[in-house]
């Protein structure tokens, strides 16, 4: 078993390798002066079970191309099996045609990864579960819920005022799963999206008065939805509002928006390497999903059950 990392999230890859008590595979992943990507594997991988760890976060296209070139290099070096470990799967929000003459980019990316030579994919909290079906190779979609549940119990104990809130109707299944684990009630934010990247909160389904609300989502990008939802919950009498989100994309002015919002805290995983602004923000915390991903990798290598991680 070997662990190879691209440049998108070296700290996470190193944490995974440390958990598995394995050295990182020696490799050079660099760019020529014209930004062309070059990969050289500097040790023997013939007949090995190799895991390539690479989030396709910003800069998305560069990191995706790095992943593809790493997979191709391993395939040509006769690796026995190549698993693309993609903690954050970019293009996942383009999983359907929202209008005429638009692409389904998530399917295109799945085709690229498969064609490059990956034998299986391991990812975390896909934006839409059906993306697993876009791949013609085995795909394991992990959930950050166990790490979040552990953190919630540490932070809040057995507070009976806890209420899990889904920021939109589409995230109800995800929110319900966490609510069930911590034995909390569930509320839903009904919102109307006027245009891409913007949202207007319309109504809160459920009584949140005096409750400690925990918003649960998979991706926070511009943070508009979360901040609007937090404001609406506070306006309805919520005692406090926190958020747990799997992938902290936090583009543009998102960090400043979170900092100035009604959110007591925003907890994100380390699936995407944190920027300096994220590290310095007063109300953003990170929890590591390295043990979760590492344990899944170990089970894939041992040919044992991955799904039992979430039983």
Residue 244 lies in domain: 145-288
Q: Are residues 185 and 135 in the same domain?
A: no
93 is in an annotated binding site: yes
| Radius of gyration of the chain from its Cα atoms, rounded to whole angstroms | 20
Q: Are residues 130 and 182 in the same domain?
A: no
200 is in an annotated binding site: no
- Average the pLDDT over 126-142 and give the result: 95
Total of domains in the chain: 2
Q: Are residues 136 and 32 in the same domain?
A: yes
- Average the pLDDT over 10-18 and give the result: 97
Q: Are residues 38 and 48 in the same domain?
A: yes
Per-residue pLDDT of 191-201, as tens digits, reads 766 666 555 65
**Of 2, 80, 191, 236, which residue is the catalytic one?**
191
Mean predicted lDDT score pLDDT of the chain = 94
Per-residue pLDDT of 32-77, as tens digits, reads 999 999 999 999 999 999 999 999 999 999 999 999 999 999 999 9
For residue 286, is pLDDT > 70?
yes
Q: Are residues 175 and 278 in the same domain?
A: yes
Give the up-direction half-sphere exposure of residue 212: CA atoms within 13 A in the CB hemisphere.
12
Token pair 């400690």 is found at 212
274 is in an annotated binding site: no
- Average the pLDDT over 82-106 and give the result: 96
Q: Are residues 14 and 94 in the same domain?
A: yes
Q: Are residues 272 and 202 in the same domain?
A: yes
Q: Are residues 149 and 284 in the same domain?
A: yes
Token pair 């979609």 is found at 141
Q: At what angle do helices 145-156 and 172-182 cross, to 10 degrees?
A: 50
Q: What pLDDT band is residue 168 in, cutting at 50, 70 and 90?
A: confident
Q: Are residues 163 and 191 in the same domain?
A: yes
- Average the pLDDT over 161-189 and give the result: 93
In whole angstroms, give the CA distance from residue 113 to residue 116: 5
Per-residue pLDDT of 267-278, as tens digits, reads 999 999 999 999
> What was the pLDDT predicted at 201?
58
130 is in an annotated binding site: no
> What was the pLDDT predicted at 225?
86
Per-residue pLDDT of 199-228, as tens digits, reads 565 689 999 999 999 999 999 999 988 998
Of residues 8, 49, 55, the one with CA closest to residue 25: 49
> What was the pLDDT predicted at 194?
62
Q: Are residues 117 and 176 in the same domain?
A: no
Q: Are residues 122 and 157 in the same domain?
A: no
- Average the pLDDT over 279-292 and give the result: 96
193 is in an annotated binding site: yes
Cβ atoms of 61 and 30 within 8 Å: the answer is no
151 is in an annotated binding site: no
CATH (domain of 64): 3.40.50.2020
Pair type for strands 139-142 and 162-166: unpaired
Q: Are residues 15 and 136 in the same domain?
A: yes
191 as an active site residue: the answer is yes
> What was the pLDDT predicted at 185?
95
94 is in an annotated binding site: yes
> What was the pLDDT predicted at 159?
83
């Amino acid at each position: 078993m070997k662990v190879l990392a691209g440049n998108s999230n070296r700290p996470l890859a190193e944490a995974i390798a440390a958990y598995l008590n394995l050295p990182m595979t020696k490799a050079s992943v660099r760019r020529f002066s014209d930004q062309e990507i070059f990969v050289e594997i500097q040790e023997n991988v013939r007949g090995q079970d190799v895991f390539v760890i690479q989030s396709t976060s910003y800069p998305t296209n560069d990191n995706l191309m790095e992943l593809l070139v790493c997979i191709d290099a391993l395939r040509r070096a006769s690796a026995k099996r190549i698993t693309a470990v993609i903690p954050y799967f970019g293009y996942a929000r383009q999983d359907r045609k929202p209008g005429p003459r638009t692409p389904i980019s998530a399917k295109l990316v799945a085709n690229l990864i498969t064609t490059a030579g990956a034998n299986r994919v391991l990812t975390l909290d896909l934006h839409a579960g059906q993306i697993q079906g876009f791949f013609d190779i085995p795909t394991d979609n992990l959930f950050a819920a166990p790490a979040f549940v552990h953190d919630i119990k540490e932070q809040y104990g057995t507070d009976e005022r806890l209420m899990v809130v889904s920021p939109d109707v589409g995230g109800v299944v995800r929110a319900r799963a966490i609510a069930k684990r911590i034995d909390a009630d569930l509320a839903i934010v009904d919102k109307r999206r006027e245009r891409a990247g913007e949202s207007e909160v319309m109504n809160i389904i459920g009584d949140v008065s005096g409750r400690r609300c925990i918003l649960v989502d998979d991706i926070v990008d511009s943070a508009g939805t979360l901040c609007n939802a937090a404001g609406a919950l506070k306006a309805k009498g919520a005692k406090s509002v926190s958020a747990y989100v799997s992938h902290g994309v936090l583009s543009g002015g998102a960090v400043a928006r979170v900092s100035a919002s009604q959110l007591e805290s925003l907890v994100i995983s380390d699936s995407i390497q944190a920027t300096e602004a994220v590290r310095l923000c007063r109300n953003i915390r990170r929890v590591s999903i390295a043990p979760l991903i590492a344990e899944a990798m170990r089970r894939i290598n041992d040919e044992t059950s991955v799904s039992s991680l979430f039983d």
